[in-house]
């Protein structure tokens, strides 16, 4: 079938609503009689709660209730479940009460909740709740937390070790023995704060008459939210409706099920009125999950000719004070299994320690595990090149997995679907004019100007994923997807999806798929998601899975609709169904193309059923569930060019080139937008962003005044290229693109800065590469 809309850069239909302010976010919803909830949070990172005095707050005008963690427990509201416990890792899952009961474990931990008739009274009353604490020593660094004598955060978790997970392939020790060179590095992926534009919000309406509730909430996965809420609120799923209205970005931070979701349900149940909570930005910085925070001790072994023979690594992954929903899967399955990236490295070993600290819980942040894996390998490849005095581009080329179209199994046991790493890298080098760049770089250096080039070539696991694998690696749910395709009598189509996009644009791209496959105008297709009562069960939007997995379900539903339409067409055309051909929305009789019916003719007849095949169900609608046979592995090569001012340490990103391969592209405009946003977030990790705690566990970067989110003016125009290597994993040959920019760009920029600093021989600098750190490194080296 000739493709018309699939592959077209049509504008996002999501945008007019957003740009005109007509989009409705959770905080925009109000219900009659609604009350507001505020949270009393611990100022201490670690303390015993001696007493909570609520009388003064409860007596304030407009206050409807003041509750403690014990009150929630007494009402049957249980701990927040961790939904991913990796097997074989000696995992400890200490209770995560929605409101602390006797101990607080991070600054920002909830200690009480206040409900009032308006949000300002609720906030004032929260300040009037008096809590007596006995402060305890705190620890914020993951490695230090495992040392002898470190403060113990959970009584039943010795050495604060949440889990110890290992991955190994080949014979690492033999590989290291056979190597000509070994390079070592301690790599730190600093802690990051996700910063979605919309802060979190939740509004619950509990009907005490029926025991059912509706929750409007800022979530990336309403069906998972319902599942987890049924566990901790004690309300069965059929009595819970979760609605994700417009969600203003998540970047992984709206994947977890949060204590506040449970708190509003509890308060609404207690008071019999709807209850809403919306966080402030500074509250968001303390109580919404953080990302990364990895300490990696890495060794890479290579032969003189540049062949990499092995990697050994030990990782301390900071989990924060409690295990958030998907936290344990991030440094293990999503990081450790991707250790060899795009390279053919046969011998691998990694030990990952998940560690509790007195910090905000850490969970999925864009890329989740894969940026840490990509940074690790891409930095180490550069160090090998340096040690062997080889060009980093040549070392990469020497070690790439050769092109493959239908499966390649790597040392960690994963089978990548398809890849052509050399093609993407060569294209990026050509776009840069690499040889020309090196010449210019040498000339500039003579003049005291320092420019550098950095590479990052990646392969990433996404499109999560086959459900059998999900189960085997301890994920507490399935990872299939669902879709309903419904024709109205007029021939217009409604699509209901189990995924729940929150900025990515599937209302547009999935309409493009339907238009193309069923021969309807794209304007005639409406796409609906984000409401457990309207949409079929699905596992949500994260891990760049909505398109690779969701489109599989959509295609299965489309196929069912087409098959049924064929039977109706055969009846109307008085032919046998075997003789009906379908092309571009028309069903015709083989050999007699003039005898045809459009899909709209058939939709009308199927809905009115006046002249209809005997025994066939009326209606033209199908629901499908689809479980992918594998993950998908997009890949690409990114190149950063930076200029470092040796006098001030300031780094300027001069050029950024990205060649990404996400298989077949549905909408190039949207894909470019995803890559742009992703690059900005990854560059920010290299150069500007970083959450900092003091030794007492106080967040020093607690607001946008202290946490350096980048501005558009910091970036050059991104130069994008592509290669197209389809996947056999799903019917459309599409891979995910939502995270690639972030996964690749941190290492590219870091490597570029280090390349620019080569003449200064500065050694390692930890991210973010702020002017101060770069200047200190340069001036230290000069002394």
Task: Provide the binding-site residues for ligand MCN, judged by CB under 6 A.
Answer: 249-252, 366, 501-506, 509, 541-547, 662-667, 670-671, 674, 677, 734-739
Closer residue to ligand MCN, CB minimum distance, 18 or 31: 18
Closer residue to ligand MCN, CB minimum distance, 153 or 632: 632
Find the DSSP H helices in 616-665. Answer: none
Closer residue to ligand MCN, CB minimum distance, 241 or 545: 545
Q: Listing from the earlier edge strand, what are the strands of the sheet with 586-589? A: 580-583, 586-589, 592-598
Nearest distance, CB of residue 39 and ligand MCN, angstroms: 24
Nearest distance, CB of residue 223 and ligand MCN, angstroms: 14
Residue 312 to residue 297: CA distance in whole angstroms: 8
Closer residue to ligand MCN, CB minimum distance, 194 or 476: 194
Q: Which helix (H) or strand (E) holds 157?
A: none
Nearest distance, CB of residue 354 and ligand MCN, angstroms: 21
User: What burial class does residue 682 get, using C-beta atoms within 10 Å of its C-beta: 0-12 exposed, 13-18 middle, 19+ buried?
Assistant: buried
Look-up of token digits 């070690």 = 399
493-497 and 525-528: which strand pairing?
parallel
Nearest distance, CB of residue 332 and ligand MCN, angstroms: 17
Closer residue to ligand MCN, CB minimum distance, 332 or 551: 551
Closer residue to ligand MCN, CB minimum distance, 561 or 662: 662
380-386 own/partner pairs: CB under 8 Å, 24+ apart: 380/183, 380/185, 380/298, 380/300, 380/311, 381/300, 381/308, 381/343, 382/454, 382/455, 382/751, 382/754, 382/755, 383/183, 383/185, 383/300, 384/181, 384/183, 384/300, 384/302, 384/306, 384/308, 385/306, 386/183
Nearest distance, CB of residue 292 and ligand MCN, angstroms: 13
Nearest distance, CB of residue 169 and ligand MCN, angstroms: 26
CA–centroid distance for 777 within its chain: 33
Nearest distance, CB of residue 174 and ligand MCN, angstroms: 38
Residue 199, preceding peptide bond in cis (omega within 30° of 0): no
Nearest distance, CB of residue 483 and ligand MCN, angstroms: 13
Residue 59 to residue 66: CA distance in whole angstroms: 10
Q: Which helix (H) or strand (E) holds 183?
A: strand 181-192
Give me 629's structure tokens.
């046979």
What are the Cα distances from residue 164, in Å, to 192, 314, 321, 586?
Answer: 23, 10, 17, 58
Give me 682's structure tokens.
């990854």
Closer residue to ligand MCN, CB minimum distance, 219 or 357: 219
Closer residue to ligand MCN, CB minimum distance, 49 or 464: 464
Closer residue to ligand MCN, CB minimum distance, 195 or 457: 195
CA angle 311, 314, 320 (to 5 degrees): 140
Q: Is 270 helix (H, G, I), strand (E, B) or coil?
A: helix
Nearest distance, CB of residue 397 and ligand MCN, angstroms: 26
Closer residue to ligand MCN, CB minimum distance, 195 or 318: 195
What are the Cα distances from residue 658, in Å, to 425, 587, 748?
Answer: 9, 43, 10
User: What burial class does residue 32 get, using C-beta atoms within 10 Å of its C-beta: 0-12 exposed, 13-18 middle, 19+ buried?
Assistant: exposed
Closer residue to ligand MCN, CB minimum distance, 313 or 666: 666
Closer residue to ligand MCN, CB minimum distance, 531 or 739: 739
Q: What's 290's DSSP letter?
A: B
Closer residue to ligand MCN, CB minimum distance, 456 or 541: 541
Nearest distance, CB of residue 513 and ligand MCN, angstroms: 9
Residue 567 to residue 569: CA distance in whole angstroms: 5
What are the Cα distances from residue 156, in Å, to 152, 161, 363, 508, 745?
Answer: 9, 10, 22, 49, 40
Residue 295 to residue 145: CA distance in whole angstroms: 12
Closer residue to ligand MCN, CB minimum distance, 311 or 680: 680
Nearest distance, CB of residue 734 and ligand MCN, angstroms: 4
Closer residue to ligand MCN, CB minimum distance, 169 or 552: 552
Closer residue to ligand MCN, CB minimum distance, 35 or 666: 666
Asked whether the CA dihedral 368, 374, 377, 380 is positive or negative, the reply is: negative
Question: Please, are residues 49 and 102 in contact by the beta-carbon 8 Å criterion?
Answer: yes
Question: Please, are residues 38 and 260 in contact by the beta-carbon 8 Å criterion?
Answer: no
Q: Which residues of 279-297 are buried (b: 16+ CB within 10 A; e: fewer)?
A: beeebbbbbbbbbbbbbbe
**E strands, 286-327, where?**
291-302, 308-320
Q: What's 160's DSSP letter?
A: G
Nearest distance, CB of residue 550 and ligand MCN, angstroms: 7
Nearest distance, CB of residue 7 and ligand MCN, angstroms: 9
End-to-end C-alpha distance for the chain, whole angstroms: 69
Nearest distance, CB of residue 362 and ligand MCN, angstroms: 15
Nearest distance, CB of residue 504 and ligand MCN, angstroms: 4
Backbone torsions φ then ψ of 497, nearest 5 degrees: -125, 145
Nearest distance, CB of residue 711 and ligand MCN, angstroms: 17
């Amino acid at each position: 079938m000739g493709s018309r809309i699939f592959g077209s850069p049509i504008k996002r239909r999501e945008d007019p609503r957003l740009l005109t302010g007509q989009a409705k976010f959770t905080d925009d919803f109000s219900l009659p009689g609604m009350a507001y909830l505020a949270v009393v949070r611990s100022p201490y990172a670690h303390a015993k709660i001696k007493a909570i005095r609520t009388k003064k707050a409860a007596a304030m005008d407009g206050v409807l209730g003041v509750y403690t963690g014990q009150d929630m427990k007494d009402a049957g509201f249980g701990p927040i479940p961790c939904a991913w416990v990796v097997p074989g890792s000696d995992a400890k899952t200490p209770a995560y009460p929605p409101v602390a009961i006797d101990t607080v474990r991070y600054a920002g931990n909830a200690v009480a909740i206040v409900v009032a008739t308006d949000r300002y009274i609720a906030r004032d009353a929260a300040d009037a709740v008096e809590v007596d604490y006995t402060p305890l020593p705190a620890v914020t660094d993951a490695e230090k937390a495992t040392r002898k004598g470190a403060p113990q955060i959970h009584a039943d978790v010795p050495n604060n070790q949440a889990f110890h997970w290992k991955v190994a392939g080949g014979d690492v020790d033999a590989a290291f023995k056979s190597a000509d060179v070994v390079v070592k590095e301690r790599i730190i992926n600093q802690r990051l704060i996700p910063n979605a534009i919309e802060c979190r919000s939740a509004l619950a309406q509990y009907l005490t008459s029926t025991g059912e509730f509706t929750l409007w909430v800022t979530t990336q996965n309403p069906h998972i939210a319902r599942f987890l809420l049924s566990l901790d609120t004690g309300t069965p799923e059929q009595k819970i409706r979760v609605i994700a209205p417009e969600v203003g970005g998540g970047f992984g931070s709206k994947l977890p099920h949060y204590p506040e979701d449970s708190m509003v349900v509890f308060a609404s149940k207690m008071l019999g009125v709807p209850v809403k909570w919306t966080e402030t930005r500074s509250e968001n910085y303390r109580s919404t999950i953080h990302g990364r925070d990895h300490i990696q001790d890495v060794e890479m072994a290579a032969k003189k000719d540049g062949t990499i023979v092995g990697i050994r690594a030990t990782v301390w992954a900071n989990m924060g004070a409690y295990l958030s929903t998907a936290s344990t899967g991030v440094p293990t399955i999503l990081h450790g299994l991707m250790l060899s990236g795009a390279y053919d490295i046969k011998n691998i070993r990694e030990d990952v320690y998940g560690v509790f600290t007195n910090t905000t819980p850490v969970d999925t942040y864009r890329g989740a595990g894969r940026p840490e894996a990509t940074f690790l390998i891409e930095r180490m490849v550069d160090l090998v090149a340096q040690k062997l005095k080889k060009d980093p581009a040549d070392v990469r080329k020497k070690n790439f997995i050769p092109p493959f179209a239908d499966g390649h199994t790597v040392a960690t046991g994963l089978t990548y679907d398809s890849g052509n790493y050399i093609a993407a890298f060569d294209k990026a080098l050509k776009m840069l004019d690499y040889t020309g760049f090196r010449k210019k770089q040498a000339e500039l250096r003579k003049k005291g100007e320092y420019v550098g080039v950095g590479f990052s070539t990646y392969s990433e696991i996404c499109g999560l994923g086959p459900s059998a694998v999900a189960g085997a690696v301890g994920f507490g749910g399935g990872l299939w997807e669902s879709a309903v395709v419904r024709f109205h009598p007029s021939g217009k189509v409604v699509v209901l999806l189990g995924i729940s996009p929150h900025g990515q644009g599937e209302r547009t791209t999935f309409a493009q798929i339907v238009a193309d496959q069923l021969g309807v105008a794209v304007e005639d297709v409406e796409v609906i998601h984000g409401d457990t009562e309207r949409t079929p069960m699905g596992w949500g939007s994260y891990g760049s899975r909505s398109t690779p997995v969701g489109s599989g379900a959509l295609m299965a539903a489309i196929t069912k609709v087409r098959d049924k339409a064929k039977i109706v067409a055969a009846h109307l055309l008085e032919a046998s169904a075997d003789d009906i051909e379908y092309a571009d929305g028309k069903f015709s009789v083989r050999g007699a193309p003039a005898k045809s019916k459009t899909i709209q003719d058939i939709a009308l007849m199927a809905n009115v059923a006046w002249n209809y095949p005997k025994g066939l169900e009326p209606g033209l609608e199908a629901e499908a569930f689809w479980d992918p046979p594998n993950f998908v592995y997009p890949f690409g090569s990114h190149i950063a060019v930076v200029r470092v001012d040796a006098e001030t340490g300031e780094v300027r990103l001069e050029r950024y080139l990205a060649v990404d391969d996400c298989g077949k592209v549905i909408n190039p405009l949207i894909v470019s937008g995803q890559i742009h946003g992703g690059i900005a977030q990854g560059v920010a990790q290299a150069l500007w962003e970083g959450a900092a705690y003091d030794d007492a566990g106080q967040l020093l970067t607690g607001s946008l005044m202290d946490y350096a989110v980048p501005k558009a003016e910091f970036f050059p125009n991104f130069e994008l290229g592509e290669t197209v290597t389809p996947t056999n994993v799903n019917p459309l040959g599409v891979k995910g693109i939502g995270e690639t920019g972030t996964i690749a760009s941190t290492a590219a920029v870091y490597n570029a800065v280090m390349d620019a600093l080569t003449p200064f021989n500065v050694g390692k600098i930890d991210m973010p590469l702020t002017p101060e750190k770069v200047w200190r490194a340069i001036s230290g080296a000069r002394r």
